[in-house]
Amino acid sequence: SQSRYTEIKKMENLRKEFVENASHELRTPLTSIKGYLETSSDDLSAGNLQHLPKFLEIISKNVNRLQFLVDDMMTLVTLEGGQNINKEEINLIKLTEDTLEKVMSLAVEKGIRIQYKCEVKTFWADPIKIGQVLTNLIENAIKYIQPGKEIQVRWLMSHREKGSEVILQVSDNGPGISEEHLHRLFERFYRIDKGRSRDAGGTGLGLSIVKHIVQGHGGQIQVESQLGEGTAFVCRFPIYR
């Protein structure tokens, strides 16, 4: 049928786009590694060692970037393949504190305060994947808001006619995101400021991973933002009776 053909064509285009974007993202650090290795080799042959520590540092940084990129790509492929969600009862205070411990050095470096509030104490979900969601959203905020700003992490419970939801809200009082970018934020490899996000160590896949994990739990994610006033990511997880 026509709709089936359209769906297959759309999937093919998405796959093609993913391969093109991935190739581009991988080529950048690879080109840098190749160039600095050649220069280091020439310097070694000439007995000129003064720039070697700096070159090795740049090579190491690019190898790490490749590692992060491949790890994120593998995570995304696994999630899109419908990997099982292993649910257990999560202690949200512990999960949040463990996550904050991991990102705290980044925050301290920029003088960013992080506050959290857990109005919900426990939640049935996949602890590793929910940890990834939390880490990605907080790290994102740390990278893009200005020094001295603040991040709020809140776990809330919402009771609706359709049923109860657990809500994770990660908000900041940073620069905000202009409206033209909002609907594309969760696309793979989409970046608001390509150069800046690469320099900050982003792979361009973090928010796409977050979206897939939230949807894998039967939930939804949305972003609310206003220029100059900050940004809030809101993840809603249904509680199945």
SS3 string, the chain, reads CHHHHHHHHHHHHHHHHHHHHHHHHHHHHHHHHHHHHHHHHHHHHCCCCCCHHHHHHHHHHHHHHHHHHHHHHHHHHHHHCCCCCCCEEEEHHHHHHHHHHHHHHHHHHHCCEEEEEECCCEEEECHHHHHHHHHHHHHHHHHHCCCCCEEEEEEEEEEECCEEEEEEEEEECCCCCCHHHHCCCCCCCCCCCHHHHHHCCCCCCHHHHHHHHHHHCCCEEEEEEECCCEEEEEEEEECCC
What pLDDT score was predicted for residue 198?
A: 54
For the whole prediction, is pTM greater than 0.85? no
Residues of the chain with pLDDT under 50: 241
Which pLDDT score, from 0 to 100, does residue 83 have? 66
Per cent of the chain over pLDDT 70 is: 94
pLDDT of residue 6: 80
92-133, pLDDT tens digit by residue? 999 999 999 999 998 999 999 999 999 999 999 999 999 999
- The percentage of residues in the chain with a pLDDT greater than 90, rounded to a whole number, is 51
